[in-house]
Amino acid sequence: MTQQFPMVYLNGEYLPLDQAKVSVLDRGFLFGDGVYEVVPVYGGEPLRLASHLERLNDSLRGIRMASPLSASQWEAIFRRLIQGEQDQSIYLQITRGAAPKRDHAFPQGELAPTVFVMCTPITPAPATGVRAITLQDIRWQWCHIKAITLLANILLRQQAVDEGCAEAILIRDGYAIEGAASNLFAVVDGILLTPPKSQQILPGITRDLVVELAQSNAIPLEIRNIGEEELHRAEEIWVTSSTREVLPIVELDGKQIGMGEPGPAWQRMNELYQTLKTRLRKSV
Ligand SMILES: Cc1ncc(COP(=O)(O)O)c(C=O)c1O
């Protein structure tokens, strides 16, 4: 039987994934010169689409590129690619395009950006929680830009996986700032903590949602830096992202967090998050 490939979008065309091709001179391929977004979709409806597109435009501005498409054009592409009601995520990537020759500096004149979009199913993260390790943050200093240049994140995540962990929590200047592909929350002395937005972390859309849910449900929350030693004595640790939602960490650096299982604050937050998803599904 021949394999069925999902449809993707590439530079104005819809085509099966195995037929989507880009030039070897594409600056995304040669330099990682581009940005991306990941938007979760529940019941066929993208979650917080406007915020994702706003962050995309911020990332584009950060690398001195104009947005190639308007919000309504993006949405039209997404709606064509979304497959049914299953939980899925939209991945979109824009690179500076294929220049006539390899040169670090931007090419002279106009260059057509490469625009790629695909949709993939989301597999639910284990509700039993996962293990994590702390690692020194070896990334660059503009982590607020969602750049496709992810080598440091890849190496950090792989080191975590090699040690039987699902995520690396990154330490910069003695503070725990975020995960290799997620934002960080910790419950310390009964208060939910998350680091403030800065150039050191990605301004996560899921992070914003969790902050809003805490604020509107009278969950004590402080947005402030989390010291490395404070993280180690936290009652609960969670990481958040569009595809892993609110994921509890039950073991850090080989030591149990709290009772070694998802804690009561996580149970409450996860309930609120799942309710929000259910409402989105029903709104369709
Ligand atoms: C470094 C990093 N921080 C945070 C996040 C979470 O962002 P969001 O909640 O918007 O998916 C991601 C997501 O991929 C990430 O790569």
Nearest atom in ligand 1 to the alpha carbon of residue 180 is: 1
Q: Which of 27, 23, 25, 21 is nearest to 5 (CA)?
A: 21
Quick one: tokens of 183? 């934002």
pLDDT tens, per residue, the chain with 284 residues: 677 889 999 999 999 999 999 999 999 999 999 999 999 999 999 999 999 999 999 999 999 999 999 999 999 999 999 999 999 999 999 999 999 999 999 999 889 999 999 999 998 888 899 999 999 999 999 999 999 999 999 999 999 999 999 999 999 999 999 999 999 999 999 999 999 999 999 999 999 999 999 999 999 999 999 999 999 999 999 999 999 999 999 999 999 999 999 999 999 999 999 999 999 998 87
Q: Does the predicted TM-score (pTM) go above 0.95?
A: yes
Q: Look at ligand 1, atom 5, and give the residue with the nearest C-alpha.
A: 182
In this structure, the residue with its CA closest to atom 4 of ligand 1 is: 182
CB of 59 shorter than 6 A to ligand 1: no
- The tokens for 224 are 């402030």
Selected catalytic residue, list 101, 146, 255, 282 = 146
By residue count, the chain amounts to 284
Atom from ligand 1 closest to the CA of residue 202: 3
The full set of domains in the chain, from first to last, is 7-121 (3.30.470.10), 130-282 (3.20.10.10)
Per the annotation, the verdict on 101 as an active-site residue is: no
Give residues with Cβ within 8 angstroms of 141, minimum separation 6.
199, 200
Take atom 14 of ligand 1 and give the residue whose Cα is closest: 181
Give one word for 64, left, alpha or beta, with left for phi > 0 and alpha for psi -120 to 50: left
